[in-house]
Amino acid sequence: MRGIDISEHQGHINLEALKDQIDFVIIRAGYADVIDPLFEKNYAECKCLGIPCGTYWYSNALDVGEAINEARVCLNVISYKQFEYPIYLDMEDADHYKTNHGFNFSLV
């Protein structure tokens, strides 16, 4: 299976041109308490083109309270949407936000 992970970082992707080369798309819905500015466009385009999709929320949570808040924001953003693939919570620290803010990974 061939899929892509997209967010505002890839800019405006021509999904119609990729439609025959991919089997699915995983769309970033947002991060922390920020909605990805291209989420709605990317979701609508997948639906219009019949491309199965899933979504993810990139977590910057440093404690349980922040995680709960992020989950609420995410659920608000994705409510009433239909996904053929899972909804993921991305806990990586690729941008070092958690490390730079003292998150202790040994406690996870």
**The pLDDT of residue 94:** 76
pLDDT digits (tens, 9 = 90+) for 10-34: 999 999 999 999 999 999 999 999 9
Note if the pTM is more than 0.85.
Answer: yes
Residue in the block written with tokens 């609420």:
72
Own/partner contacts of 11-17, CB < 8 Å, gap of 24 or more, are 12/38, 12/41, 13/42, 15/42, 15/45, 15/46, 15/49, 15/51, 16/45, 16/49
The pairing of beta strand 24-31 with beta strand 34-35: antiparallel
Report the C-alpha gap between 1 and 7 in whole angstroms: 20
Q: What does the pLDDT average to over 66-83?
A: 96
Which two structure tokens, joined as six digits, stand for 10? 């890839």
